[in-house]
A and B are shown apart, each in its own frame.
Chain A
């Protein structure tokens, strides 16, 4: 269908370009406010999990939709000079802190504040008495509290005392802001580099501009489709990053393939524009569509995961691929048709077009022949290298991203580190147990159940304290609490506690613990609490809070990722089979890609988890890998690797059909596609590499991971593994069992030019 449309576009370029211009202008106007339509909530929660239930009960039944923000008060040298004793107890320090908090007191987004001057709570002051912090509970009912946070941040700036903001929301905002800077820089840098590189690849400014134009239109179209998507589902702001990164990379790749082939066919046909375009669309155009299908299919498998974040990523990926495919096969043919031989205009003398090598000579041809002559040794060698690179995967740890993902200068990271080093049991990420009771939570039967549960939780190792309806005052026994809540209006404690912890048939318990909130020990504590029997008098309880959220997230990945990987592998295998009609080549492609990705992950673990080369790439070793990033790398890199495999193998198959000689077809296919694929890999490598220069560690890991996978694919896989395996498989390359062959002939995706004499498909290469 795309190819037919492309042909129409080529025959009627002006109407096509006018329609495209109209779409571009309309898209630009329509998508102006796209960022406001995207949700700031990333959508990482696992629907139906204990942490999600806990959060929804807190929000819907207990009316708690707050997030804590830490205000760390650090006195300047002037303030330290005034008074005696620990700085946090000096009047000047207290006055400065209270001045800041007085501004916050009228903030409608703030639901409560707890500070050292206000409560005298020793946990809120540093061990050396120089620092203290306040916990500001911020309403997050709108946009996850981000806008409220930004207002708060402005409100607390004070000339007399330094106020640093921290906590999960602050980290999230800092990461978003850093990402915005990084992505903007990456896009500008990559666009400039791409322009130069494309001019170098094509030797002509006009030809070089075409893939960039395709990239620009693709991004615009993707963003418009993304905004349309927001009419039906919540889409995270992270989706915009995927659209920008993947859309630009793929569009430029596709543009490169089509423009190169067009120029090649123009040379062959004596500048017959119509014929060149016709053949270009039948070959490179078809391959682009297949490649797009494989990449999109790979990314769409992310929709299987329950988290909205992954579904958004899958959707955004699919949108980028579709936009890149549409632009490359509709707009680009129209542009090429109009330009004709002017596609080579504005050639730079120093980059005069390099003479095209014949199919059976050239460096790539000779190198492939060499590899195929020593196929066994080279295959073994490549496998050893890949397996060695992948070896660190064996000790890979999956963990959450935290403020260490940010540069050391980031405020929220400084707060996190100061709290860890200078405060005892900061307890910033407590576990939240939400309890459903059969009747009002403050009635005697429910209180007895809560007392039982509190005792059981309190007895678990690592638990510092449990706060709730029956555990606010150590002097009180269960009978006292029953009396207290029988006459709540007479006892401030009862009024206060009921307001804080209960509403109707729901109540919450807050659990402080000793271990770091992102540790396996904290997650183990969640498991232990969840394993406790529900005491009599209570209906059910759900554990939330950061460690519980993270445990649910990891469990969800553990449950779903194998299925997602299997789905990606199966879908890619089926698509490759329907394109190539071979059983073993898709199998080989899938296996080599898995190997190549293992190698990529191995290097990532070696660097980001183990800390190697941290000095060179300027990051803090994370001690674990972010599962989200690995999955995104897997889906995107698998698709991209297959993308190149499709370009290469379709050329090999074309040559095989033409020559019937296996070794020659492999070498000629590589000779034909090698320079283009290498250029494409270099181009997309620049785009991805630019993202690796960012300062947020997980974005750096993602950019570097994708870049590595492209490099490994372009070198070890395509230059060594592919020719070696194709040589060793020999006639089996294009073999398939008869029933599968029948399936292929019935449903194949081959769409060769009907004007050409039919070739044997699958080919019979010896």
Chain B
């Protein structure tokens, strides 16, 4: 799975942390350095459990996050495998790469809104920056764009317990592959999710990603700017089947 996809997966998961059953359906787009992709997205949420279904280059995957157990299960539906990772372990690895306090995040409302179902979604600008280092070259990993958040909607009230979990000092929400390949980015995204989650439920997001600096890596990054977007088209509070957060029968389970 390409790294932009992984990173995007985290962005997609950040907001709808709630206690009630909530299902969001939408579409995602990824433009990553000459390649582009788009596809359906589905997010399932129940208590401290989050599941995201996605299709990457025609292959179906799901990520099941259990915030209470601090585990993430990556399901590969074509290979019928379930790989279980401990987010606590990943947290330690990424924390070593960059201090969460070094992540600068600015979110400002623009005053514009759009409606998703009954949710009034308010537009915000987003700017994030954090220090990074590649091949000895000091850089700044930056993300900027727009996001729409639904504030003060009934479903938001249900997120209180989850938000409490997120404020724990060792909280980490991340994808193992991204954390391994790029711990700085994984740390930054996790931190962004932690800070944005209390502000509202995500309706839509569109951001650009890049490295900034004066060296060759930064120059290369400017030529390869990436953009990712996600828009939810509808949501539902119908009960989610209980087995949605379980590893499907017949899958080979591997614990990392």
| Chain A residues within 8 Å of B, Cβ to Cβ | 98, 101-102, 104-108, 110, 112-115, 117-120, 134, 136, 472-476, 479-480, 483-484, 486-487, 489-493, 495-496
Contacts and interface: CB of A to CB of B under 8 A. Distances in A.
Nearest to A99: B40
Nearest to B178: A489
B58 A101 contact: yes
Nearest to B39: A118
B34 A105 contact: no
A684 B55 CA distance: 57
A105 B75 CA distance: 13
Nearest to A109: B78
A636 B37 CA distance: 54
Given A118-B57, A134-B58, A486-B135, 13 more contacts: A98-B39, A105-B59, A110-B58, A113-B59, A114-B58, A483-B217, A483-B220, A487-B135, A487-B217, A489-B181, A490-B181, A492-B3, A492-B226
Contact of A113 (B5, B58, B217): B58
A112 B58 contact: yes
B220 A480 contact: yes
Given A102-B55, A114-B57, A483-B220, A108 B80 contact: yes
B60 A483 contact: no
Contacts of A490: 134, 181-182, 211, 217
Contacts of B89: none
B224 interface: yes
**Contact size range, B:** 20 to 34
B223 A475 contact: yes
B2 A492 contact: yes
A112 B57 contact: yes
25 contacts: A101-B55, A102-B40, A104-B58, A105-B78, A108-B78, A113-B58, A114-B57, A119-B37, A119-B38, A473-B223, A473-B224, A474-B34, A476-B220, A484-B224, A487-B217, A489-B3, A489-B181, A490-B181, A490-B182, A492-B4, A492-B5, A492-B33, A492-B35, A493-B33, A493-B34
Interface in B26-65: 32-40, 55, 57-60
B135 A473 contact: no
Interface string B105-137: 000000000000000000000000000001100
Contacts of B57: 112-114, 118
Contacts of B221: 491
B58 A115 contact: yes
A119 B36 contact: yes
Contact of A491 (B39, B40, B224): B224
B77 interface: yes
B59 A110 contact: yes
A476 B38 contact: no
Contact of B78 (A110, A486, A491): A110
Contacts of B223: 473, 475-476, 480
Contact of B34 (A108, A115, A472, A479): A472
A491 B134 CA distance: 11
Interface in B203-221: 211, 216-217, 220-221
A113 B38 CA distance: 12
Contacts of A486: 135
Which among B33, B36, B78 has the highest number of chain A CB atoms within 10 Å? B33
A106 B60 contact: yes
A104 B59 CA distance: 8
B244 interface: no
B96 interface: no
Contacts of A110: 58-59, 78
Which among B55, B57, B135, B224 has the highest number of chain A CB atoms within 10 Å? B57
B102 interface: no
A589 B210 CA distance: 80
A484 B217 CA distance: 8
A496 B36 contact: no
A487 B2 contact: no
A233 to B, nearest CB: 34
A235 B188 CA distance: 59
B78 to A, nearest CB: 5
A495 B35 CA distance: 12
Q: Identify the 4 closest CB pairs spanning chains A and B, nearest first.
A: A113-B58, A105-B60, A493-B33, A473-B34
B153 interface: no
Which among A112, A489, A490, A493 has the highest number of chain B CB atoms within 10 Å? A490
B79 interface: yes
A107 B78 CA distance: 5
B32 A492 contact: yes
Nearest to B215: A483
Contacts of A98: 39-40
Contacts of B78: 105-108, 110
A107 B55 CA distance: 12
A705 to B, nearest CB: 44
A71 to B, nearest CB: 10
A465 to B, nearest CB: 12
A105 B58 contact: yes
A224 B61 CA distance: 47
A157 to B, nearest CB: 18
A493 B224 contact: yes
Which among A118, A473, A475, A479 has the highest number of chain B CB atoms within 10 Å? A118
A105 B55 contact: yes
Given A102-B40, A102-B60, A106-B60, A496 B2 contact: yes
Contacts of A480: 220, 223
